A = this chain, B = another copy of it.
Amino acid sequence: MRAPTSAVGLPEALTFLQGLWAVVHRMERLSKQMAAAGGVTGPQRLTLRLLELFPTMSASELAALLHLHPSTLTGILQRLESQQLIVRSADPADGRRSLLRVTARGSRLTKRTSGTLESAVRAVLDGLSSSQRETTYAVLGQLATALDRELQPSMRR
């Protein structure tokens, strides 16, 4: 292993980007581990959590909240439904919509918080001052905005 293990000497933006990818990869790895251990991935668990807090949302509302394409959400919902963690019912007021609800089994699953992305985030936030939290949250927002600016309007959604 002759390689430099740290990224000293890289342009700052590249170092930062590398750190960002490092976090992203770990999120994906933990997501996969969650699936193996408890049955749901990170995005699937976040879907359940949001659905608990905003009950009986429609798919398009949820997609907007998750920043996902509706067709991406379709797959996520199918996997949750096949595990009987959510149920779908037709909206009586609008036949196109399906209303989503978390089942008792789904609620039981989200109660277990160890080994989740959410608990990792909570652990970090607990160690930050409120001004540090504000800075971090603001940077996250700026990053989203800056990425949006690089995206073609057609892909911006």
A: residues with CB less than 8 A from B are 1-5, 7, 9-10, 12-14, 16-27, 29-30, 32-33, 42-43, 46, 49-50, 53-54, 57-58, 60-62, 64-68, 114-125, 127-128, 132-133, 135-137, 139-144, 146-152, 155
Contacts and interface: CB of A to CB of B under 8 A. Distances in A.
Contacts of A141: 19
A16 B121 contact: yes
Number of copies: 2
B23 A144 contact: yes
Contacts of A30: 147, 150-151
A25 B68 contact: yes
B64 A150 contact: no
